[in-house]
């Protein structure tokens, strides 16, 4: 479907993506915690996308893009830029299909994420930790390799793939009043909007963002995209700005965007590690942080939280000193 020249993925695209990727991904479990329910004053359901093989939800969109290529298109492989999880997931999907994968990553990306990319056969070119450096370096890499560009989030194939998460989530829980997910570039939020606007239009989609990288929040309030070049936050998966395709979904379907401080993110991350007993990265803790910060908005509701990833450097956890 086209809207102002944008190729907008549809609900049918999401359904087709789910069939395409089903052999290659996991239907991740949903966890609950009586303690966290009591603390938050609502019924929380956590969709554990950190349990995907590459450790993040982005395997859904990456796999849909890779396995949607024709044999001719796939010959030169795929290429992307990413702060980590999309790079890992695209490398994994490319490995499954047996094609090359080139990725541009900030030199400051967590070592655990770089190691994962290399384990799956991805070739890394490092750049400075800014959107401008990332995009300039990527242009050079793509010109050299000729790989199909699979954007981390501003790609209809990727958004359709991410939308499969919410389809599973609704089936597993029997329905939710709200779904809360982190927002950086907006791929997961866009996929959530894509699915729920058709499958469960009464379910609100809430985005959660770090205060120190709050360009989506400011964009949402201003009514147009505001892009920061190089924000700094422990939630390293949420450093990128919205683009035209994800802005379409955010501006049309997101009910609210809430923000959380660095300390609130760390506190929520600790709570989830302790009471859900799962490893999650800082970006994944932002939704719980905003739920705890805004109790009146969620009181008494059935609230779904998407734990988007679990790739952390265990030697550099955010609560460690030095």
Span 39-77, pLDDT tens digits: 999 999 999 999 999 999 999 999 999 999 999 999 999
| Cα separation values, 194 from 21, 102, 110, Å | 17, 29, 30
Residue 127: pLDDT band (50, 70, 90) is very high
Note the pLDDT of residue 2. Answer: 66
Looking at the structure, give the CATH architecture of the domain made up of residues 2-55+155-307.
3-Layer(aba) Sandwich (3.40)
Ranges of beta strands (E only) in 107-232 are 123-127, 148-149, 178-182, 204-210
- CA–CA distance, 196 with 164 (Å, rounded to integer): 10
Residue 6: pLDDT band (50, 70, 90) is confident
Residue 99: pLDDT band (50, 70, 90) is very high
Locate tokens 């395709």: which residue?
Answer: 245
Contact, 47 vs 28, CB < 8 A?
Answer: yes
List, by residue range, all CATH 3.40.50.1100 domains of the chain: 2-55+155-307, 59-149
- CA–CA distance, 246 with 311 (Å, rounded to integer): 24
Topology of the domain covering 59-149: Rossmann fold (3.40.50)
DSSP reduced 3-state for 102: strand
Mean pLDDT of 11-40: 98
Tokens of 11: 């609900």
Pairing relation of β-strands 2-3 and 6-7? antiparallel
């Amino acid at each position: 479907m086209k809207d102002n020249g944008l190729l907008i993925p549809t609900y049918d695209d999401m359904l087709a993506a789910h069939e395409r990727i089903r052999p290659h991904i996991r239907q991740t479990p949903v966890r609950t915690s009586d303690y966290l329910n009591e603390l938050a004053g609502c019924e929380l359901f956590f969709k554990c996308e950190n349990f995907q093989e590459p450790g993040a939800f982005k395997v859904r969109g990456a796999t849909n893009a890779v396995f949607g290529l024709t044999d001719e298109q796939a010959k030169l492989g795929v290429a992307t830029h990413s702060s980590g999880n999309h790079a890992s997931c695209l490398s994994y999907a490319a490995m499954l299909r047996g094609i090359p994968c080139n990725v541009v990553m900030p030199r400051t990306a967590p070592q655990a994420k770089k190691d994962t990319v290399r384990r799956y056969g991805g070739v890394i070119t490092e750049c400075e930790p800014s959107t401008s450096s990332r995009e300039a370096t990527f242009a050079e890499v793509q010109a050299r390799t000729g790989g199909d560009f699979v954007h981390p989030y501003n790609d209809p194939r990727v958004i359709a793939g991410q939308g499969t998460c919410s389809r599973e989530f609704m089936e597993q829980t029997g329905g939710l009043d709200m779904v809360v997910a982190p927002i950086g570039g907006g791929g997961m939020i866009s996929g959530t909007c894509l699915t729920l606007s058709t499958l469960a239009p009464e379910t609100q989609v809430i985005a959660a963002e770090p205060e120190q990288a709050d360009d989506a929040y400011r964009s949402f309030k201003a009514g147009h995209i505001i892009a920061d070049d190089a924000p700094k936050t422990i939630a390293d998966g949420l450093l990128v700005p919205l683009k035209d395709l994800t802005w379409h979904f955010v501006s049309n379907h997101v009910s609210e965007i809430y923000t959380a401080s660095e300390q609130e993110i760390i506190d929520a991350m600790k709570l989830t590690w302790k009471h859900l007993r799962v490893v999650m990265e800082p970006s994944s803790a932002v939704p719980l942080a905003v739920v705890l910060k805004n109790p009146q908005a969620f009181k008494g509701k059935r609230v779904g939280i998407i734990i988007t990833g679990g790739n952390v450097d265990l030697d550099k956890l955010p609560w460690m000193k030095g």
